[in-house]
């Protein structure tokens, strides 16, 4: 303990122990253990980032080469080959699913891991269960149940594991579901001092989805996946129920290009939409933050009238296990992003107070710059992207349920089936089990050859 305190003193973080004498032995032990895990060198690095250095000259931005959502001619032929290749990878067990669910979901304000949020328009099925159903459906389609790696963080790990166990892994084989936890890093006040959540607890926050790569390697799961012949990890986020982790086209394009890391994007139609776009900055592929893109680039349109910088990032990636292995062995150093927030912390007097502070995160898309080759596939937003981020308004449970039901209603229309009535928000009570159909073509394929209206209606009742 003396040694630990000394190290914190030397790092100018001795205040962490200022309530030590008020703590009972259990609380003292808790604080000692937590403090013992802090990487003080990293904290010093974070502290140095609070003082802005000289601003670098503005980078040159360029849009990425996009593989279009509606390929024509040779691209359509290439897409056909890619679908076949992707399906082979899925059938041969060379793909693993990587879900990131370690975030705090603070905007949604749901009491529990975001993956437990009941998103199903009819069944209230949780996000986790919905994703699981899609993975089960993919296993039925490709004849192979791929492993599912689920990243949690200290804040939601126990609750997530308990939920999966309670729900019997949503019908997936238990030995195909693997959890691992990302690292947590201390939040700092504006002077660079570690903030305290309680007198015996540091204010720790998950280190961002960029932490996935190290956490996967450190957990031993990356090695295990490679030993099992997994070549590609299909990465998606817990808050987007429309994500399609078993997408043969995307996996196939990525594989045929010999890419290390690839991305799906959706077209931004409004230049004012505050979403990061994929592009290169001084030749390095990555995600350009909305606020970093100069107005003339943001508003620029090509000869078809489409935005030049339209590749809206939806955080869906394919990553080669080999690429992740290489990166993490080389001491992956993704840049740190600072999020300034008001935080509830213990003040100097010992009372709780709200103070400005800074959280530090790395982002997965920064690894794109390290990939020797990369595919950027444009997909249709209404088919693949509707995240649950906010409690209300855009990107909320209501908007997501509406997008889900709009999509299912479209399948019903094509199948000439009656649609259920819509509520005041324009959403129908309509949900199609991913194990029944995952897309319009599959839905049509599952319909009886000459269905009577009654029979059709029964299918979704």
Question: Interface with ligand UTP by CB under 6 A: which residues?
Answer: 100-108, 114, 151, 153, 182, 206-209, 237-239, 361, 389
Q: Which is nearer to ligand UTP, 38 or 79 (CB)?
A: 38
CB of 245 to ligand UTP, least distance (A): 13
Least Å from the CB of residue 121 to ligand UTP? 21
Asked if residues 179 and 152 have their Cβ atoms less than 8 Å apart, the reply is: yes
- Element at 361 (helix H, strand E): strand 352-361
Nearest to 79 by CA among 89, 69, 90: 69
Pick from 347, 278, 241, 258: nearest CA to 64: 278
Q: Are 213 and 371 in contact (CB under 8 A)?
A: no
Closest approach, Cβ 89 to ligand UTP, in A, equals: 24
CB nearer ligand UTP, residue 108 or residue 407: 108
Q: Cβ atoms within 10 A of the Cβ of 82, count?
A: 25
Q: How far is the CB of 274 from ligand UTP (least distance, A)?
A: 13
Q: Which of residues 378 and 395 has its CB atom nearest to ligand UTP in the complex?
A: 395
SS3 of residue 268 by DSSP: coil
Give the number of other CB atoms < 10 A from CB of residue 198: 15
User: Are the beta carbons of 164 and 22 closer than 8 angstroms?
Assistant: no
Nearer to ligand UTP, 182 or 297 (CB): 182
Q: Least distance (Å) from ligand UTP to the CB of residue 302?
A: 30
Query: Which C-beta is closer to ligand UTP: that of 20 or that of 110?
Result: 110
Q: Give 41's contacts (C-beta < 8 A, 6+ positions apart).
A: none
Choose among 362, 390, 372: nearest CA to 211.
362
Nearer to ligand UTP, 48 or 106 (CB): 106
Residue nearest to ligand UTP (CB): 103
Residue 99 C-beta: closest distance to ligand UTP, Å = 8
Residue 128's nearest CA partner among 219, 120, 443 is 120
Q: Which is nearer to ligand UTP, 8 or 236 (CB)?
A: 236
- Compute the least distance from the CB of residue 209 to ligand UTP, in Å: 4
Distance separating alpha carbons of residues 90 and 84, to the nearest angstrom: 10
């Amino acid at each position: 303990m003396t040694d630990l305190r000394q190290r914190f003193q030397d790092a100018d973080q001795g205040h962490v122990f200022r309530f030590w004498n008020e703590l009972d032995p259990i609380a003292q032990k808790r604080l000692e253990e937590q403090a013992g895990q802090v990487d003080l060198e990293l904290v010093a690095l974070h502290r140095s980032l609070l003082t802005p250095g000289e601003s670098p000259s503005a980078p040159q931005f360029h849009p990425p080469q996009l593989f279009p959502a509606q390929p024509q001619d040779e691209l359509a032929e290439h897409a056909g080959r890619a679908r076949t290749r992707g399906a082979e990878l899925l059938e041969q067990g060379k793909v693993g699913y990587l879900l990131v669910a370690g975030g705090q979901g603070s905007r949604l304000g749901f009491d529990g891991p975001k993956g437990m949020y009941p998103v199903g328009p009819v069944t209230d099925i949780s996000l986790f269960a919905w994703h699981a159903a899609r993975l089960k459906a993919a296993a039925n389609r490709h004849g192979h149940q791929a492993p599912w790696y689920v990243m949690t963080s200290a804040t939601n790990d126990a609750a997530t594991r308990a939920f999966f166990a309670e729900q019997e892994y949503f019908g997936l084989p238990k030995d195909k579901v693997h959890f691992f936890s990302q690292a947590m890093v201390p939040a700092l006040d504006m002077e660079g001092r570690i903030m305290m959540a309680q007198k015996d607890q540091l204010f720790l926050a998950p280190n961002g989805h960029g932490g996935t790569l190290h956490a996967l390697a450190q957990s031993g799961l990356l090695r295990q996946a490679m030993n099992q012949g997994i070549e590609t990890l299909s990465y998606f986020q817990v808050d987007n129920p429309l994500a399609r982790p078993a997408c043969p086209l995307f996996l196939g394009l990525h594989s045929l290009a010999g890419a290390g890391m690839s991305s799906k994007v959706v077209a931004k139609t409004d230049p004012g939409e505050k979403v990061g776009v994929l592009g290169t900055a001084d030749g390095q592929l990555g995600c350009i933050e909305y606020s970093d893109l100069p107005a003339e680039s943001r508003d620029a349109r090509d000869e078809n009238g489409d935005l030049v910088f339209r590749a809206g990032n939806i955080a869906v990636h394919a990553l080669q296990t080999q690429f992740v292995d290489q990166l993490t062995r080389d001491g992956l150093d993704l840049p740190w992003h600072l999020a300034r927030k008001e935080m509830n912390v213990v003040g100097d007097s010992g009372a709780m107070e709200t103070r400005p502070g800074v959280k530090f995160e790395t982002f997965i898309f920064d690894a794109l710059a390290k990939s020797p080759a990369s595919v950027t596939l444009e997909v249709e937003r209404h088919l693949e992207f509707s995240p649950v981020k906010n409690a209300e308004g855009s990107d909320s449970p209501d908007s997501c349920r509406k997008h889900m039901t709009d999509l299912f209603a479209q399948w019903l229309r094509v199948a000439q089936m009656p649609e259920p009535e819509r509520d005041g928000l324009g959403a129908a009570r309509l949900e199609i089990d991913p194990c029944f159909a995952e897309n319009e073509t599959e839905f049509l394929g599952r319909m009886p050859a000459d269905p009577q209206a009654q029979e059709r209606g029964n299918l979704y009742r």
